[in-house]
Structure formats: C-alpha cells, structure tokens
Amino acid sequence: MGKDGTHARSAPDLRVQLGPLSLKNPVLTASGTFGYGQEFSDFLDLARLGAVVVKGISLEPRPGNPPPRIAETPAGMLNAIGLENVGVERFVAEKLPYLRKRNATVVVNILGNSEEEYAALAERLEDEEGIAALEVNISCPNVKEGGIAFGTDPRMAARVTEAVRRKTTRPLITKLSPNVTDIALIARAVEDAGTDIISCINTVSGMAVDVFSRRPKLANILGGLSGPAIKPVALRCVYQVVQAVSCPVIGIGGIQTALDALEFLLVGASAVQVGTASLVRPTSAVEILDGLERFLRHQGLASVREYIGTLDTSCRFPLAEETCAGDE
C-alpha cells in the first residue's frame, strides 16, 4: 500500500533518504564521467536524475596529465586524466548557474592536495546556491602527490573528512578507494569523523602496456580501471562497507543496466552512481532509472526502499559451518 492508501499499481515511489540528503530517486551520475552536466543536455533531462555529481573540483584549475589518458581493457577502461578541472571559481561562475537553470540536483565532488585545500573548498562553496551535497574524493589514484595518501590511511582519511565537516553544513559524502587492504576500516574512520554518507568505489588501480612499442598505454603509466570489469570488486566493497557502518552508502562501479544497479541496492546501497556507462551511452542513467521503475512494478513493490538491503545471506544447505562462512 502506498502512503495515501492507493495501491502499488500507481508509479512506484523512487525517493530515497540518505541521512540528511533527500533524493527524488536513487540514480546519480559518477564524478568525472558526466562532465559538468551540460555535456549531456542534448541527450537527457538533467532534472530527472537523482543527482548530477560533477567532475572533481579543486581550488585552482588543473591542466591534468599528458596524453594518452585512456586505454581500453577487457570490459573496462583505464583512465589517467589527472583531475583536470576548471577550478572552483570558474565552476561557480560558469557551470553551476547552468545546472541551477536546468533544475538539476547537484553534488559537487571536491579534491585537494592538503586538508587545508579541502577545507577551503568546502568553505568557498558553503554559500553558493543550488548545491545539494559535497562529495569528498579522497581516493583518486591518478595524481602522484594528491588523493592517494588520504584514501589509503584511516587516520588521514578521517582528518580530511573532519576538515571538510567543520566547514560545511551540507550533507557530506566521502568517496572511498578500493585500493586498500581493509575498506571497512577506512569506512568506519570516516564515519567516526562525521561523514553523513559513504560512496564507493572509485577506480581500481591498474596498468596496460603495448608489447610492440614496449611503451605503457598511458603516459602516466598507471591508471584507474572502471566499467563492467570492476563490478564484482565494487559490489564486494559496498557489501563490506554496509556491514561495517551505520551511515547510508552509495554504490559505484561497473553499473551499466538497471539490473546492475539493483545488485548494489540489494546488498544495501541506498543509491547508485553510473559512471563509465554514460561515456559509452549518454542516456544510460535515465535508462537505468526507467528500468528500475519497471522492475519495481514487476515485483509489485510500492517503493524502492522496500528492496534496499534485502539480500538473503542465510545458508541453505549447511554441510559444515565453515563452508558457508568462507569466501570461496
């Protein structure tokens, strides 16, 4: 039954609540794969999306890494963009007004080389209108002196989160890297440091080489893997983080279809972000949204919230306790 007594035959309720952040639906775009939104306006209505997460913004503009920056791999791609972006001032002056005009729900992804830079960014954005939340990228593996250090050390991850927390009253999302030994440890650290929401995963560190030229395929040598290839890793990370913390989690990694998105909701993510899929098919995010709605109708569910976190992990045929508990 719906909230006003009507039956589930009416459109399923897609709204989700992530701590202080209310979203009209659980399908967001992933930072760095959706530009500043405007690039996609010929293909879809930005206002339909749960949120548009923009390309990572730093205090100063960044030129990014030398090319080649992209290499295709089986069912995935490596990127080493190097966090090229227009800088916070141009973002506020040129990009944000467009997103406001289109009634998009905006999440601003931020990055820096020091706690002070993250804090200064949060402070600079605090009074700008039309920002629903901040997402702190502590995990980008591309910039040698940047992101990597914060995301792989629980104390540093907590310190960045705290630094941003002190400067913003907005809902705060901390985005985790999968390139760590124990993601649950980092998740607990940033939750304790005051993040409202955790998103994961960022790209998986990887490499590709050319056997004929004997050169790395990326000028940066190492890059971040994304796309369908990383989905099982991402799902595992989201599952472990959901078990470890009590704050809401946003699932990211290899989501191409509505069924992929549902896998993340099933293990307990309250929302998802669509990344590489948008690069290949610009309409991916809205198609996933439509597919989600179809699925809920098909399953006779009145709300997406009835589906989130309903994974049944009970052991059906226990031979010995260990067989079920093990991970293979």
Ligand X SMILES: Cc1cc2nc3c(=O)[nH]c(=O)nc-3n(C[C@H](O)[C@H](O)[C@H](O)COP(=O)(O)O)c2cc1C
- Which residues define the annotated binding site? 31, 55-56, 79-83, 109, 137, 175, 201-203, 227, 253-254, 275-276
Torsion sign over Cα 44, 253, 89, 100: positive
177 contributes a contact to ligand X by CB under 6 A: no
Number of residues engaging other proteins in binding (CB under 8 A):
40
Q: Name the residue with the smallest CB distance to ligand X.
A: 32
Q: Which stretch binds ligand X (CB under 6 A): 151-159, 177-185, 247-255, 308-316?
A: 247-255
Give the β-pairing of 209-210 and 215-216: antiparallel
The only residue of 71, 140, 242, 267 in contact with ligand X, by rule CB under 6 A: 140
Cα 309 versus chain centre, distance: 18
* Sequence ranges of the binding site for FMN: 31, 55-56, 109, 137, 175, 201, 227, 253-254, 275-276
Strand partners, 210: 215
Cβ neighbours of residue 207 under 8 Å, at least 6 residues apart? 78, 216, 218, 221, 222, 223
Look at residues 206, 95, 124, 112 and name the one whose alpha carbon lies nearest to residue 160.
Answer: 112
Instruction: Give the pair of three-digit tokens for residue 204.
Output: 């998986």
What x-and-dash track marks residues 232-261 binding other proteins by CB under 8 A? ------------------------x-----
For residue 200, indicate whether it is catalytic: no
According to CB under 8 A, which one of 276, 289, 295, 304 is a site residue for other proteins?
Answer: 276
In terms of Cβ atoms closer than 10 Å to its own Cβ (0-12, 13-18, 19+), residue 178 is buried
Q: Which is nearer to other proteins, 34 or 295 (CB)?
A: 34
Candidate ranges 63-71, 173-181, 187-195, 242-250; the one touching other proteins (CB under 8 A): 63-71
Residue 152 in the binding site for ligand X (CB under 6 A): no
What's the Cα-to-Cα distance from 158 to each of 57, 95, 173, 197, rounded to whole Å?
A: 20, 30, 13, 13
Region for 161 from its dihedrals, namely left if φ exceeds 0, alpha if ψ lies in -120 to 50, beta otherwise: alpha
Q: Would you count residue 210 as binding other proteins (CB under 8 A)?
A: yes
Q: Is 11 in the site for other proteins (CB under 8 A)?
A: no
Out of 81, 121, 176, 289, point to the residue binding other proteins (CB under 8 A): 81
Distance CA 156, CA 147 (A): 10
18 beta partners: 21
Phi/psi of residue 91, nearest 5 degrees: -60, -50
Q: Which of 175, 186, 270, 285 binds ligand X (CB under 6 A)?
A: 175
Contact between 252 and 198 under an 8 Å Cβ cutoff? The reply is no
Residues that constitute the known binding site for substrate: 55, 79-83, 137, 202-203
275 binds ligand X (CB under 6 A): yes
Which sequence positions are flagged as catalytic?
A: 140
List residues near other proteins by CB under 8 A: 32-35, 39-40, 42-43, 55, 63-64, 66-72, 74-77, 79, 81, 84, 210, 212-213, 215, 219, 227-228, 256, 276, 278-283
List residues near ligand X by CB under 6 A: 30-33, 55-56, 79, 81, 83, 109, 137, 140, 175, 202-203, 226-227, 230, 252-255, 274-277
